[in-house]
């Protein structure tokens, strides 16, 4: 095994692209459209390398195309992807174009409504040489794959259709007999390239059980090592190859090579322990982009790559082979951006015809609505930060899809829908009729439904993240939620402190509770900043496309009613009870009824002093102006009107009067409050009157004394 190296670069979007190249030619062995037996080899030759000591093979690869044949703002489309490959093939004719699976299904409207026939035709005509089978190739059942899909590939490509569904770890149920072709061989400039396909064994949990009842999925590693050993054992009867490429429809959830080299699970076992005979591993399934060098058994490294999704990237691996020994000298992998300006005329024609046909098929009626199903804001769709009937309705449709008998996984309990994924409203129109195109326009991204387990704490965190960080283009992204799940929130609370309570079927959710939830694949990956979804456990791509779930829901319900608003319930901020006034502290008569408490605090501190009437009637206690002439202690308006005085009883000079004033507004306790006020006023009047008499008497005595002195 040679030491391989891996690097990354980008295909310049502005670079000149060669004219559309002639599709690769070659000798095609005669074979049935589908066969599990070993295929005859096909060859591609290039005389340019005949005199060289080595020849360089170019392996172009992609994964998870998912029927994205039309060019959009985020997807290059089939014509541009094949056009990019054409330019690279023109530079090096010793080229193979391979797929790591999921080329079909999970598709956008144009391809999906035509059962992905336009995608199959575009890839076949575009020169795809072989493909691993992906989990989505089983979405319409095993029979559809073997009877229709591979037949259409054969017709479009001129190659054996079985080469487009390679699955060495797919067996007839209860046996070790391969249910699909395990490998194919292509001869390129005198070098035999063996191409093995494997698919994630979790496929059985992602598709309808009835569609795959006759097959089962085994270990990818066991199958890969079994077949790679056959291809290098010297026995021509079971195939021989100089270079082995493993197409694995499985991958890492990370794009970090330091993480991937230690990846746990079946995929980690595969990339570390696949036989040293395997020279390149092309991955898929997780829609990530990476180009790594992973240590291989026996020493050295080999490229392990994945090319993102939806025609946006192409993998390019250059494998240098000694022409004499037929041994691999080096292998270098690169991830290229698809050149959006590139085009393949034949593929472009196929796409244009498919788009035209889709418009016709889109007029098909799928059901009726009782009223408009609208996005948030005025006009609809203008505000993603408010609850909407569209968001809640789609969440209901997702949940319903996981609860049908045809669903292959564990039913969900709670569903979420992101507002950014809603691109149109479902309108009642004149009679409520809804077409296929109308529902397709609501969710145009062809996301698949993902299920996972989340704790109550994770759900709370997700809901908190609806309020976006400061500086975001939108302050809030309000998630649609399914029936049975509700929550209370405070709109103007501090960030990450909005959610008060959450309920499932009326029972409050605790942080430790665990729920099975469903959302679309974009959100499941942490899209729109809802990162806790990516940390969910027991994750499963259900294989159910959001559009199909929607159409199925409409077909199962004679009239679809918009989901109601009110699942997200705004409330006022909760006030801490300890901060409110305690009635027993502000109305205690022993602390407030005795006038002497306001006139002479030092004389009324003892309870017995405040209870004894003589304490406030003692003339000597009222004759001293310093003890009685403090009107602010009893009558200052600020004492009876400042709200803080009612919440701090000890700071109020006349808390009983204040309490009476407060309660009288509510119609409670008026009589007793008025009596207390009257008593207090009368007492004060007596003191003040007595004081004035003493002052007057003192003045008279002083005048008499001064007169006497003067006369003396």
Per-residue pLDDT at 360 exceeds 80: yes
Most confidently modeled range among 21-30, 112-121, 378-387, 404-413: 112-121
Question: What token pair was written down for 93?
Answer: 């004719």
CA dihedral 561, 562, 563, 568 (to 10 degrees): -160
pLDDT tens string 299-357? 999 999 999 999 999 999 999 999 999 999 999 999 999 999 999 999 999 999 999 99
What residues are paired with 222 via a beta bridge?
Answer: none
Domain ranges of the chain: 5-10+55-356, 365-570, 578-603+626-711
Look up residue 314 and give its two tokens: 């192409």
| Contact between 639 and 652 (Cβ < 8 Å) | yes
pLDDT digits (tens, 9 = 90+) for 415-443: 999 998 998 999 999 999 999 999 998 99
DSSP for 296-360?
A: -TTS-EEEEEEE-STTSEEEEEEEEEETTT--EEEEEEEEEE--TT---HHHHHHHHHHHHHHHH
Q: Is the peptide bond before 379 cis (omega within 30 degrees of 0)?
A: yes
Q: What is the pLDDT of residue 146?
A: 98
**pTM of the prediction?**
0.65
Q: Are 311 and 111 in contact (CB under 8 A)?
A: no
Residue with tokens 């609370």: 493
Is the Cβ–Cβ distance between 163 and 181 less than 8 Å? yes
Burial 475-488 (b: 16+ CB within 10 A, else e): ebbbbbbbbebbbb
* Half-sphere exposure in the Cβ direction for 167 (13 Å, CA): 35
Asked whether residue 680 carries a pLDDT value surpassing 70, the answer given is: no
* Averaged pLDDT score across all residues of the chain: 81
pLDDT at 47 (0 to 100)? 38
Number of H helices, E strands in the chain: 27, 26
Q: What is the dihedral of CA 336, 339, 343, 344, to 10 degrees?
A: 0
3-state secondary structure string across 161-197: HHHHCECCCEEECCCCCECCCCEEEEEECCEEEEEEE
**Residue pLDDT, tens place only, 615-639:** 333 433 333 333 333 333 333 333 3
Residue 182 has pLDDT above 90, yes or no: yes
pLDDT mean over 526-535: 92
- Cβ contacts of 65 within 8 Å, gap of 6 or more: 78, 81, 99, 102, 103, 104, 119, 123, 309, 310, 311
The pLDDT value given to residue 409: 87
For 546, what's the count of Cα atoms within 13 Å in the CB-facing half-sphere?
30
The pLDDT of residue 573: 77
pLDDT value for 607: 39
Give the homologous superfamily in CATH for domain 5-10+55-356.
Metallo-dependent phosphatases (3.60.21.10)
The fold of the 365-570 domain, in CATH, is 5'-nucleotidase;  domain 2 (3.90.780)
Q: What is the pLDDT of residues 475-524, one digit of tens each?
A: 899 999 999 999 999 999 999 999 999 999 999 999 999 999 999 998 99
Residue 58's pLDDT is 99
Per the CB < 8 A criterion, the answer to whether 309 and 75 are in contact is no
CB 351 within 8 Å of CB 77: yes
């Amino acid at each position: 095994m040679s030491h391989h190296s891996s690097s990354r670069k980008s295909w310049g979007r502005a670079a000149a692209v060669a004219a559309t190249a002639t599709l690769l030619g070659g000798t095609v062995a005669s074979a049935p459209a589908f066969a599990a037996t070993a295929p005859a080899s096909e060859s591609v030759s290039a005389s340019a390398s005949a005199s060289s000591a080595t020849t360089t093979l170019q392996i172009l690869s992609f994964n998870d195309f998912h029927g994205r044949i039309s060019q959009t703002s985020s997807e290059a489309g089939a014509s541009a992807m094949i056009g990019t490959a054409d330019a690279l093939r023109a530079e090096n004719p010793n080229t193979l174009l391979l797929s790591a699976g999921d080329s079909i299904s999970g598709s956008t409207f144009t391809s999906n409504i035509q059962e992905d026939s336009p995608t199959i035709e575009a890839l076949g005509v575009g020169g795809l040489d072989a493909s691993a089978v992906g989990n989505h190739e089983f979405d319409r059942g095993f029979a559809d794959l073997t009877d229709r899909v591979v037949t259409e590939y054969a017709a479009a490509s001129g190659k054996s259709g079985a080469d487009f569904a390679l699955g060495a770890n797919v067996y007839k149920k209860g046996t070790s007999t391969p249910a699909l072709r395990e490998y194919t061989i292509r001869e390129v400039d005198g070098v035999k390239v063996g191409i093995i396909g494997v698919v994630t064994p979790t496929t059985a949990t992602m598709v309808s059980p009835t569609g795959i009842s006759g097959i089962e999925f085994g270990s990818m590693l066991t199958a890969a090592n079994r077949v790679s050993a056959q291809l290098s054992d010297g026995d021509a009867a079971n195939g021989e190859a100089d270079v082995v490429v493993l197409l694995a429809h499985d991958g890492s959830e990370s794009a970090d090579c330091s993480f991937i080299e230690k990846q746990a699970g079946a995929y980690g076992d595969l990339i570390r322990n696949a036989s040293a005979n395997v020279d390149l591993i092309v991955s898929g399934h997780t829609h990530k982009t990476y180009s790594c060098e992973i240590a291989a058994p026996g020493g050295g490294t080999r490229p392990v790559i994945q090319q993102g999704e939806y025609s946006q990237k192409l993998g390019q691996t250059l494998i240098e082979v000694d022409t004499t020994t037929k041994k691999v000298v080096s292998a270098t992998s690169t991830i290229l951006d698809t050149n959006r300006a590139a085009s393949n005329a034949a593929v472009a024609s196929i796409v244009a015809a498919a788009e035209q046909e889709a418009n016709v098929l889109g007029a098909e009626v799928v059901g009726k609505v009782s009223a408009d199903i609208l996005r948030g804001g005025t006009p609809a769709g203008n505000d993603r930060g408010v609850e909407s009937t569209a968001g809640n309705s789609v969440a209901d449709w997702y949940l319903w899809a996981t609860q049908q008998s045809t669903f292959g996984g564990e039913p969900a309990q709670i569903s979420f829908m992101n507002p950014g994924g809603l691109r149109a409203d479902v309108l009642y129109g004149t009679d409520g009729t809804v077409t296929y195109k109308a529902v397709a326009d609501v969710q145009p991204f062809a996301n698949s439904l993902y299920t996972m387990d989340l704790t109550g704490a994770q759900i709370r965190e997700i809901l908190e993240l609806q309020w976006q960080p400061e500086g975001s283009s939108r302050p809030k992204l309000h998630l649609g939620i399914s029936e049975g799940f509700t929550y209370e929130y405070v709109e103007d609370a501090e960030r990450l402190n909005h959610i008060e309570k959450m309920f499932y079927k009326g029972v409050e959710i605790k942080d430790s509770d665990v729920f099975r939830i469903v959302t679309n694949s974009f959100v499941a990956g942490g899209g729109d900043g809802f990162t806790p979804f990516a940390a969910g456990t027991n994750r499963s791509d259900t294989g159910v496309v959001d559009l199909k779930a929607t159409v199925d829901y409409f077909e199962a319900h004679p009239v679809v009613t918009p989901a109601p608003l009110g699942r997200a319930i705004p409330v006022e901020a909760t006030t801490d009870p300890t901060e409110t006034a305690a009635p027993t502290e502000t109305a205690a008569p022993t602390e407030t009824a005795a006038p002497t408490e306001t006139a002479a605090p030092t004389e009324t501190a003892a309870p017995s002093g405040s209870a004894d009437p003589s304490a406030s009637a003692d003339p000597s206690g009222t004759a001293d102006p310093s003890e009685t002439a403090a009107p602010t202690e009893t009558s200052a308006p600020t004492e009876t009107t400042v709200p803080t005085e009612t919440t701090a009883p000890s700071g109020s000079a006349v808390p009983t009067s204040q309490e009476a004033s407060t309660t009288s507004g509510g119609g409670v306790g008026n009589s007793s409050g008025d009596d207390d006020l009257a008593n207090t006023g009368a007492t004060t009047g007596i003191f003040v009157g007595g004081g004035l008499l003493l002052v007057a008497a003192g003045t008279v005595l002083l005048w008499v004394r001064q007169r006497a002195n003067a006369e003396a």
